[in-house]
Amino acid sequence: MAASGGIDSTALLHASARLATPLGVQVHALHVHHGLQAQADAWLAGVAAQCRRWSARGLAIEFHAQRLPGRPARGESVEAWARRERYRALATMAHEAGCDVVLLAHHRRDQAETVLLQALRGAGSAGLAAMPGRRERDGVVWLRPWLEQSREAIEAYARRWRLRAVIDPSNADPRFARSRLRIQVWPALHAAFPDAEVALAAVARQAALAHALEREVAAQDLQGLIDGEALRLTPWRALTPARRAGALRAWLAHALAPGWPLSLLQRLLRELPEARQARWPAGALELRLHRGRLLAVPPLATARPTAAPPDATRTLDLSHPGEHELPPWPGRLRVEAVQQGGVPAALLRACQLRARTGGEQFQRHPQGPPRRLKKQFQDLGVPAWERAAPLLWAQDRLIFVPGLGLDARVQACPGAPRLQLQWIA
């Protein structure tokens, strides 16, 4: 049970312990010390003392606390930092206590406020769904059993049992959006629309259903759109605009780190239908459209090694299966034993890595002529950013090119055992 010491979590902690104790179930009160308020030490001590009193009266409660290390980064939202670190600390304490369920004391007014805040941020169905009643994350099931309860009912319970709670001054701090909403907006909204809380909670339920349906449709659409890690644009363009948006959002969620901006989705929806070859910045990565496939890859500036290419005289022994790191190249070579194809292991005992210099010849097929690498890359549609990997030479012969594979001439060399090569970026 997450126990901040506020009236809501205090009431839920007390009610949970009253119900759990006769059943022989132990309740663990988990308190997070954020280190953001001068009263934080007193709050921790107060919740701990309260748990001891209740335990002495026969309630099955055990207290746990964790202090958050560090502070929000410069420019980072204090609210976002506190929320993220609080849930991380709660999950850690839950695991240490052997708990797989954590109760949270959010109620219907909290849900209504969240819907309003998300609407003011321009959120879609995911944001308007607000807080789920049940969610699994970090190996913990998070439950909000009072999400349909009114604030007044919880306060009445607290009065009935004469529960004492702390008052967090940040709840009245106008620097925070939720505090401004509670102080300046909610009283007027409730006066004009007495049923606003109930209606907004209903919005969250409907949005949650809509979001679940959107995710299901997007997952089905993506099955026909994915090629490896790439999004195929031709079938994507054949979808309706709404399904395009859903599939693209789902692909971005998989391809990019969390926190990518909605503006990126909106820009792609405008530009992708007509684009043929383009690039879009996406945080630490870059989205690139090449031959009808959209990929998330490192920017060109970081796709090449930052140090000088290895000396051509450096000798590598790749005659044994395994993965070989090849600094400063940003990739590695995987060597696998095969029954057919590949090259003799003896040929790989003394290899050299070299950067492209121009004019190298490569033969893709046994019956085809050797051709320049540039032409071979173009024929296979290898994007420019994938052509910077090193070339593998042995006995002054080009034997392997990332993106193209083994040269057909060396595959014809006799000898066993035989090995296959794969470049992993």
* Structure confidence at residue 313 (pLDDT): 52
Q: What is the phi/psi pair of residue 397, to 5°?
A: -120, 140
Q: Scanning the structure block, which residue is given the tokens 């406020």?
A: 113
How many Å apart are CA 164 and CA 3, to the nearest integer? 13
How many Å apart are CA 127 and CA 400, to the nearest integer? 49
Q: What is the 3-state secondary structure (H, E, C) of 221-254?
A: HHCCCEECCEEEHHHHHCCCHHHHHHHHHHHHHH
**Which tokens in the block code for residue 224?**
């026909």
Task: Specify the fold of 225-297.
Answer: Chorismate Mutase Domain, subunit A (1.20.59)
Residues in contact with 360: Cβ distance below 8 Å, sequence separation at least 6, in sequence order: 372, 373, 391, 398
How many Å apart are CA 152 and CA 259, to the nearest integer? 36
Radius of gyration of the CA atoms of the chain, in A: 30
Task: Specify the fold of 7-199.
Answer: Rossmann fold (3.40.50)
Angle, helices 196-222 vs 108-120, to 10°: value is 60
One pLDDT digit (tens) per residue for the chain, 425 residues = 999 999 999 999 999 999 999 999 999 999 999 999 899 999 999 999 999 999 999 999 999 999 999 888 888 888 889 999 999 999 999 999 999 999 999 999 999 999 999 999 999 999 999 999 999 999 999 999 999 999 999 999 999 999 999 988 888 889 889 999 999 999 999 999 999 999 999 999 999 999 999 999 999 999 999 998 999 999 999 999 999 999 999 999 999 988 899 999 999 999 999 998 889 999 889 999 988 999 998 876 444 444 445 454 567 899 999 998 887 777 889 999 998 888 899 889 989 888 888 889 999 888 889 999 989 988 887 877 778 788 999 988 999 999 899 999 888 788 778 999 998 87
CA angle 230, 236, 241 (to 5 degrees): 135
Residue-wise DSSP of 105-122: ---HHHHHHHHHHHHHTT
Strand locations in 39-170 (E): 61-67, 101-103, 134-137, 140-143
Closest CA to 389 of 298, 304, 287: 304
How many Å apart are CA 103 and CA 112, to the nearest integer? 19
**Which tokens in the block code for residue 291?**
């031959």
**Which tokens in the block code for residue 308?**
């000088």
Closest CA to 130 of 144, 113, 143: 113
Domain boundaries, the chain: 7-199, 225-297, 315-424
Closest CA to 329 of 295, 306, 296: 306
Angle, helices 7-20 vs 151-160, to 10°: value is 60
Task: Judge if 7-199 and 225-297 fold alike in CATH terms.
Answer: no
Q: Under the phi-then-psi rule, with left for phi > 0, alpha for psi from -120 to 50, and beta for the rest, what region is 308?
A: beta
How many Å apart are CA 21 and CA 59, to the nearest integer? 6
**Which tokens in the block code for residue 84?**
């993220």
pTM: 0.73
Q: 36: helix, coil or strand?
A: coil
- The arrangement of strands across the sheet holding 418-424 comes to 322-325, 332-338, 418-424, 343-344
Half-sphere exposure of 151 (CA within 13 A, CB side): 11
CA angle 250, 89, 170 (to 5 degrees): 90
**Which tokens in the block code for residue 238?**
């054949």
* Structure confidence at residue 59 (pLDDT): 96
How many Å apart are CA 133 and CA 298, to the nearest integer? 38
Asked whether 378 and 371 are in contact (CB, 8 A), the reply is no
Q: 141: helix, coil or strand?
A: strand
